[in-house]
Amino acid sequence: MTVTWEELGWERLADGVGRCRLPGWDCTAGLVLGAGAALMVDAGSSLAEGARLHEAARRLAGHRVTHLALTHTHFDHVFGAAAFEGAEVYGAYGAAGTGALFAPGGQGREALRADAVAEGLDARAAREAADALAPVTHEVAGECVPDLGGGTRVRLADVGPGHTSHDLAVLVPGSPAVVFCGDLVEESGEPQAGPDAVPSGWPAALDRLLDLGGDDALYVPGHGAVVDAAFVRAQRDALAARFGVSR
């Protein structure tokens, strides 16, 4: 039986492209369907959330997720990654080595677990997710273009640094084109700059997003409603003023 995006609580953005806003932190997860392949953008904040995302993707695609793109390595975007067993996992160049994040027992995992608990994630769920964290199997330096079959090709682009030292964007060409921005763009609140942010590079990262998608694309923020190029430009200018970055 065919299921629609809307029946699963997802928002359809274009042919074969959709996203959902997850509870708790209002984090976006995206999905791109090809012919016999499917790419998930970000993995949710826990193993249980990742499993729910994967099940929804199975129902929409008719098969498992084959590719997983992690826009950056914050817990609300990566802690469900282990639920996508067998998927090729993509991150921006250098992401795999960030604080030994993907090394078993690494200090980066412990810091991520502690941050998740501080933000309100159940301590047991945070420990399970940190211990099971799936490794990045493909680091994207510049761009790469995975082929999802049936003429569906997506562009993964290392557009940072900005929100973190390693920010990955996902462009799905089409009419309209769709750009998954991660937390380089936020709509439901002011963009968050934690200790791993690179404020001096953030406005330029948004310029790269705009170059990637163009004026007519849909821009999907890490948190909040889908926006247009004008919103991204306004947020770029606001970040430049906030961080004292000359343009």
pLDDT exceeds cutoff 90 at 97: no
* Mean pLDDT of the chain, nearest integer: 93
Residue 126 pLDDT: 97
pLDDT exceeds cutoff 60 at 6: yes
pLDDT exceeds cutoff 50 at 64: yes
Pairing of strands 38-41, 88-92: unpaired
- Mean per-residue pLDDT, 60-88: 96
Residue 102 pLDDT: 58
- Mean per-residue pLDDT, 29-39: 97
Signed CA dihedral, 121, 74, 32, 96: sign only: negative
Residue 1 pLDDT: 56
Burial of 194 (0-12, 13-18, 19+ CB in 10 A): exposed
pLDDT in tens, 147-196: 999 999 999 999 999 999 999 999 999 999 999 999 999 999 999 999 99
Burial of 184 (0-12, 13-18, 19+ CB in 10 A): buried
**Cα separation, 119 vs 77, whole angstroms:** 13
- Mean per-residue pLDDT, 93-109: 64
- Mean per-residue pLDDT, 121-141: 93
- How far from 20 is each of 27, 49, 57, 214, CA to CA, in Å? 8, 12, 11, 23
pLDDT exceeds cutoff 60 at 104: no
**Cα separation, 135 vs 133, whole angstroms:** 6
pLDDT exceeds cutoff 60 at 106: no
Output 232 or 102, whichever has higher pLDDT: 232
pLDDT exceeds cutoff 50 at 100: no
Residue 135 pLDDT: 83
Residue 189 pLDDT: 93
**Cα separation, 36 vs 238, whole angstroms:** 42
Residue 197 pLDDT: 94
- Mean per-residue pLDDT, 59-67: 96
**Cα separation, 51 vs 113, whole angstroms:** 19
pLDDT exceeds cutoff 90 at 19: yes
pLDDT exceeds cutoff 60 at 99: no
pTM over 0.85: yes
Which among 69, 65, 71 is positioned nearest to 85, based on CA atoms?
Answer: 65
